[in-house]
Amino acid sequence: MRNIRLLIEYDGSRYDGWQRLGKSGGNDTIQSRLETVLSRLTDETVNVIGSGRTDKGVHAAGQVANFHTCTDMSCEELRDQMNRYLPEDIGILDAREAAPRFHSRLNALSKTYVYRIATGPCPCVFDRKYTWYAPWVTDVEKMREAAKLLEGEHDFLGFSSVRRTNKSTVRCIREIRIEKQERQLRLVFVGDGFLYHMVRILTGTLAEIGAGKKAPQSVEDVLLSKNREMAGVMAPPQGLCLENVRYM
């Protein structure tokens, strides 16, 4: 059986996130759309495995996924046929043969997310669907000071929506860059993995620091206490994009 690796981009605005949901919830997800098209193309029941589960309304420029199939279609043909039948807000950038044991989630070494905050006198009309308009976020240096305290290996439970779990909530953030651009801030998060809502809560916390509502050192209190209520607001989903996933 072949193992096919996909590189995918999508506008998550109208989807219920990446993960296929149960019958009780909405099920217009990126995963379900991909599986429906692939199952029809291959005449098989296809299970698509993603590198991570982006939330409802979150976008991806470099999502990686894989699936197993017995089809004799070439990778180029699979890519082209998927792009023919998928909606216009989901695109397959690349399809290629992967090693039999390749797993898009388990083999990922790091992920990069970018959150965009609009800060101009009004939201840019061309980017308004892909940014969080927060013009009160002005002190970039304090945000960078706090970001340095968040880098490294920590228990990020307080910066997540995780409630009770037997799994580790320790993650390593390798870098947080805050790039100031005209009418926009770009917050770049590079880490070995991220908890549920973690990037959006980190962004909301850094935004409150940039607005003078919290001190940079307050992030250390959240890390020590593991108390979600001590962190900032959760930034809305539309500003977040999974930029890339790195493998060996």
What pLDDT digit, counting tens, does each position of 38-52 carry? 999 999 999 999 999
Q: Which of 16, 55, 72, 192 is catalytic?
A: 55
At residue 27, the pLDDT reads: 73
Residue 26 pLDDT grade (very low, low, confident, very high; cuts 50, 70, 90)? low
Residues 6 or more apart in contact with residue 82 via CB below 8 angstroms: 34, 37, 38, 41, 92, 95
At residue 152, the pLDDT reads: 98
Give yes or no for residue 196 having a pLDDT over 90. Answer: yes
Give yes or no for residue 161 having a pLDDT over 90. Answer: yes
CATH 3.30.70.660 domain locations along the chain: 110-246
Give yes or no for residue 209 having a pLDDT over 60. Answer: yes
- Look up the CATH number of domain 110-246: 3.30.70.660
Residues 6 or more apart in contact with residue 11 via CB below 8 angstroms: 59, 89, 90
Give yes or no for residue 63 having a pLDDT over 80. Answer: yes
Residue 146, both tokens? 């706090």
CATH 3.30.70.580 domain locations along the chain: 2-97
116 and 186 in contact (C-beta within 8 Å)?
Answer: yes
Q: Determine whether 28 is an active site residue.
A: no
At residue 164, the pLDDT reads: 79
pTM of the model: 0.95
At residue 44's C-alpha, the angle toward residues 42 and 49, to 5°, is: 95
16 and 25 in contact (C-beta within 8 Å)?
Answer: yes
Residues 6 or more apart in contact with residue 184 via CB below 8 angstroms: 116, 117, 118, 119, 120, 124, 127, 131
- Look up the CATH number of domain 2-97: 3.30.70.580
